[in-house]
Amino acid sequence: MIREILIWPDPVLKQPARSVERVDDGVRRLLDDMAETMYAADGVGLAAPQVGELVRCIVIDTSPKQEGQHLIHLVNPEIVLAEGVTTYTEGCLSIPGEAEEVERAARVVVRALDRSGKPFELDCDGLLNIAVQHEMDHLQGTLFVDHLSALKRELIRKRMKKLKAEKAAERAESVKKAPRHESAL
């Protein structure tokens, strides 16, 4: 099921996510919904808080832009090694139409549970490395704009508030135009 992606500055996006107690059918359903939502939005990663679920779950698939990759599910991820420094121009599904350079570790190793609840480690470089760090920031209530200057962040915030207002107006207009159904009672 495709879910609505929250748009910053939605307050849910600033809250830290809690750990998943156990990977069960509900968590797997969330991961499936997140993957479907990510693909529908043409993204390479999505964190659960972006769809309003404050749990430590991430889906990433950099295969469209990084050869040899595939869909990865990360439950309760933690970075166990970070080294070097790199800069990458990042965008975000919760901040549509915006992209800015962000400084990140050049390589990370992440430990997580897979969709079966089995622990694994993932050595990340290239776009996968950037995506993992970006999505893990979401689990802490941090967005890529938090890595920018206050001026850039405020300009983007104003554009996102305008975008949210436009979307709300579109939704209201579509409700007004919807056919009315009279009750049979």
In this predicted model, what pLDDT tens digit does every residue of 47-83 receive, in sequence order? 999 999 999 999 999 998 888 889 999 999 999 999 9
Q: How many CB atoms lie within 10 A of CB 6?
A: 17
What percent of the chain stands above pLDDT 70?
97
Burial 116-149 (b: 16+ CB within 10 A, else e): eeeeeebebebbbbbbbbbbbbbbebebbbebbe
In this predicted model, what pLDDT tens digit does every residue of 93-120 receive, in sequence order? 999 999 999 999 999 999 999 999 999 9
What's the rounded mean pLDDT across residues 134-141?
98
Binned at pLDDT 50, 70 and 90, residue 42 comes out as very high
What percent of the chain stands above pLDDT 90?
84
Tell me yes or no: is domain 11-177 CATH 3.90.45.10.
yes
- The values of phi and psi at residue 181, to 5°, are -115, 125
Asked whether 78 and 111 are in contact (CB, 8 A), the reply is yes
Binned at pLDDT 50, 70 and 90, residue 170 comes out as confident
Q: Give yes or no: 135 in active site.
A: yes
In the chain, domain spans: 11-177
Cα 30 from Cα 33, distance rounded (Å): 5
Cα 44 from Cα 126, distance rounded (Å): 13
In this predicted model, what pLDDT tens digit does every residue of 69-78 receive, in sequence order? 899 999 999 9
For position 184, what pLDDT does the model report? 52
SS3 167: helix
For position 86, what pLDDT does the model report? 97
Binned at pLDDT 50, 70 and 90, residue 181 comes out as low
For position 185, what pLDDT does the model report? 53
Kindly name the residue from 98, 135, 166, 173 that is annotated as catalytic.
135
